Structures are given as structure tokens and as C-alpha cells.
Structure 1
């Protein structure tokens, strides 16, 4: 059984800046207004027979969205960026350019890329980890991170 939450209607959204190093058009800092959709698959349990309560899923997702909202997303595992994190600033070099950004303006993520694909994987793993505390019968979560209407990337964790 599955539950679904459409981010556009549930206010699962955030706006953030990022870059895709060495990409022709996305290799410069630019931003998107993202919308995040969610599916959770598992077996209903408990007194109410829920897979998981919708409000719990939305609460977790909103917390993650808030963490990323209005920040520069920095992929700490990027093989294309040389990143130094200081107490008050983040410095990185990419494609011959040097950047110095206040630490408070950045969201440092343990991923290789801040592409829609990378963000979908990040959200799915974070959500799955938290939801398993509610219901061990959850099989997987599927998250779609939309960079615009009609275009997004989907990641299922763990894989089906």
C-alpha cells in the first residue's frame, strides 16, 4: 500500500541556489523554486492502520525544506569542487573560479551533486531514516524533486 503527498498542494517547497560544475549552462550559480513530491510504501500498522501519518511525513519534509531554503547548496562530496569549510565562511574553487560565501548562507550537503537527482536521493534517504522510527514495515520512499513545473528527478530508497 502507498500514501502520496503532492508537494505543490502540501507546501513542500524551497528556493535555493546551486551550481552544476563544468556544465555549459548550469555551471554558474543560479537558483530554482523547488517542489517536492513524496510516496511512502509499506504495510499499515498500529491503532489507526496507517502506513505513516500524513502530518508526520509533511513535518519531516518541511524540516528538510526549511534547512535548504534560501541557501546556496554545496555538495561536500563533489569530485569537481575543492571545498574548505571554515567557522564563518565556505570557500571553494571550481572551473578556475574562486568563491567565498558566508557560512550562514550555505547548506552543506553530504552528496556529490546538487542536481535534482542528487537532491531527490538526499531527501529520500533522510525521509526513509526518520520514517523507519515510526513504522518498521515501511518498504521504501520515493521522492521527486521538481526544479520547475513538469521537470524533476525521482529517487526511490531503498531501491525496489
Structure 2
């Protein structure tokens, strides 16, 4: 069967989830009228890439090693940190200045926290939910894998799954923006 015309080689899906795609982090979810207690999870991450074309000359849609390297790096950046939602609409997040060693968070209910700055992962999200963490990780993994490289490999969609506990996970799937694939 000719691999260039075979329908068996026109659509691919690659999924990678390893024990090393993990991070342990603290967080709490806060929204209008509600704040969870501060707690932590042992998060697990998985990545799925979808493409429409034949396999590359090397026989891969993408080398698993590329995905593993990027995911390990992204997870390591969050490991053993407090996940701070920088764009929260109910938390006041501040530090005195660039030399301050602490991040102060004041909640809508009047409670407050002070964390060492180096222990905080300042994330561009509104809520520290698994769903928004999945969106953030999607963006960071896309940067690491390089959208142009993915386009060259025929990959058009990426999905990132984040589990905070067995049986509790969120998946974010989004087509890689066309302009990112052409940049």
C-alpha cells in the first residue's frame, strides 16, 4: 500500500504521559463569595498531539523524546510551588517592589497569606483550577515544542490533560493557531 495515498496514514494521534510529567503544588480556588482552604495536589500531566498527514521520513509523527523533554521542564518549573493566579478578580496580590522577598495575598473574606516569592509560581490565570492550569500548561508546552516545528510535522491540534488526583482531571484541547504555525 502506498503510504502517500493510504487513508491509514492520513490521521495520527500521539499521546504521552509519564511518571516524570508531574508536579506537587499548593493552591486554593477563590471566586466571588468563596475561598477553598489552602491545600496541595500531586498533579500528573499528559499530552496528545493530532495531525493530518503521512509519517515523516523518520517514521514518526513526532519523536516522544521531544515531548518528554518539554513536559519535564514545564512540570519542574511548577514543582513545590504555590500556584498563584495573577489575574484573580477576588484576590489582592502584591509585593512591596522588585526587591521584596514575599508575595502577600489578601482574600475577599479578609484572610491573608504571605509566601516567599521564590516559592510562588505566578501564573497568568484567573483561578487556580485544574482547567485553567491545563490551559496554562498547553501554552507553555506549545512554546517548548515550537509551533512551526509541529506544523512541519503535520500536527494541527494539541491536548493537555492535568489530573489533580486519580479520577479527577481536566483536558484542554485547542487547534494550534494558524498564525503560530506560519510564524
Per the TM superposition, whether the score is higher than 0.5 is yes
RMSD: 2.1
Query: Contact 1:20–1:27 (CA<8 Å) still a contact in 2?
Result: yes
Aligned partners of 2:122 and 2:54: how far apart in 1? 35
SS in 2 for 1:135: helix
Bigger shift: residues 81-90 or 105-114: 81-90
Match of residue 75 from structure 2 = 65
TM-score (norm 2): 0.78
Equivalent positions of 1:49-60 (< 5 A) are: 49-60=59-70
Aligned partners of 2:21 and 2:155: how far apart in 1? 21
Asked whether 1:6 is paired with 2:17, we answer yes
Asked whether 1:27 is paired with 2:36, we answer yes
Match of residue 36 from structure 1 = 45
Aligned residue pair count = 157
Asked whether 1:116 is paired with 2:130, we answer yes
Match of residue 7 from structure 2 = none
SS in 2 for 1:40: strand
- Who wins on radius of gyration, i.e. which is larger? 2
Match of residue 181 from structure 2 = none
Aligned partners of 2:70 and 2:115: how far apart in 1? 28
Q: Structure 2: 5+ residue runs without aligned partners? A: 1-11, 177-183
Distance 1:68 1:57, change over 3 A: same
| Residue 106 (structure 1) aligned to one of 90, 115, 120 | 120
Aligned partners of 1:37 and 1:15: how far apart in 2? 15
Aligned partners of 1:155 and 1:73: how far apart in 2? 18
Aligned partners of 1:35 and 1:104: how far apart in 2? 22
| Residue 93 (structure 2) aligned to one of 74, 83, 97 | 83
Shift of 1:47: 3.2
Shift of 1:100: 1.4
TM-score (norm 1): 0.88
